[in-house]
Amino acid sequence: MNGSTICVEGILRRVRQTIAIDAQELSRLSERVDENHVHAVEKLLGCSGRVIVVGMGKSGLIGRKVAATFCSTGTPSLFLHPVEAFHGDLGVVTADDIVLAVSSSGETEEVLSLIPQLKRLGAFVISITDQRASSLGKRSDLVLELLVDQEADPLGVAPMSSTTAMLAMGDALAAAVSEARGLTREQFAIFHPGGHLGRKLLLQVHELMHGGESIPIAQPDTPLRQAICEMSDNRLGAIIVANERRQLEGIFTDGDLRRLLETNDNPLSMQVGNVMTLRPQTTHADYLAAQALREMRANAISILPVIDECEKVVGVIHLHDLIRAGLS
């Protein structure tokens, strides 16, 4: 690279040193948590509006993530760009909101200029900045100091440890508010319906099951030959056996067929009710799909009849349906 030789040891040293400096600053930050942080969390808990995060440059990027974290943990929040705020976006701010102003130096002109406008609208301003004595600190209602001694940047000028500390402080506030509110995993999943956790905690059996004409079903007196044809047509590897009222009586699977062929020379003349598995594992339409998956794995089976409170067959769910839904 430009005639120079890459020094592996030098790279490893710099990577480790950067991580070590960041870790050291975070450790120091955790030791300085005090009543100001308690007051900040109390204000955030009592906020009837939204948490509006403002910041510029690298701090602004951190601010966007902090706002997203508040949203995902149950606190309505948004990021407001200071420049856009002066051109109409101030209209989103109300007296019910709390502003979280982030600036490492506390001297960012765009943020400082915005503070009087935010207060004029009645918003309470909490700042996350390096020094309480900074211009931002002096203009805020409450200050959470970072007091970063050293940037991990080799030149000591690029914001690295300071933005890491700022991000950690934002996460800490969001976590404390979330815990104080008693946010549950189920509530968290509501904010993340498309994520893995959301699917595990929200997706129900009826959303994945085969129902109606798609259910491979036969009565007990159905000839086994006909039942096998039905199994082949539906490609689910099993047929549900039910009486004339569609109440579950048993199940016959590919595995049952293989075992039957090993012990019987002429099984196709039999009725499916004579060779079915009685009292199979079942599930219900309103059960969590993840729970159905756990039952399948615990019992080493790949298909579950879905029944209602009267044991009437309303569907069938296959292991492959759950895997395709991302629950594996």
List, by residue range, all CATH 3.40.50.10490 domains of the chain.
Answer: 8-183
Q: With 0-12 CB in 10 A as exposed, 13-18 as middle and 19+ as buried, what is 324?
A: exposed
* pLDDT digits 0-9 by tens, 184-226: 766 666 665 555 555 666 678 998 899 988 899 999 999 988 8
CATH architecture, domain 205-324: Roll (3.10)
Distance CA 266, CA 274 (A): 13
Percent above pLDDT 70 for the chain = 93
8-183 CATH, one of 3.30.70.1400, 3.40.640.10, 3.40.50.10490, 3.30.530.20: 3.40.50.10490
Comma-separated ranges of CATH 3.10.580.10 domains in the chain: 205-324
pTM comes to: 0.65
Query: Which residues, 6+ apart, have CB-to-CB distance to 21 below 8 Å?
Result: 150, 151, 152, 160, 161
pLDDT tens-digit profile of 83-127? 999 998 999 999 999 999 999 999 999 999 999 999 999 999 999
Identity of residue 262: E
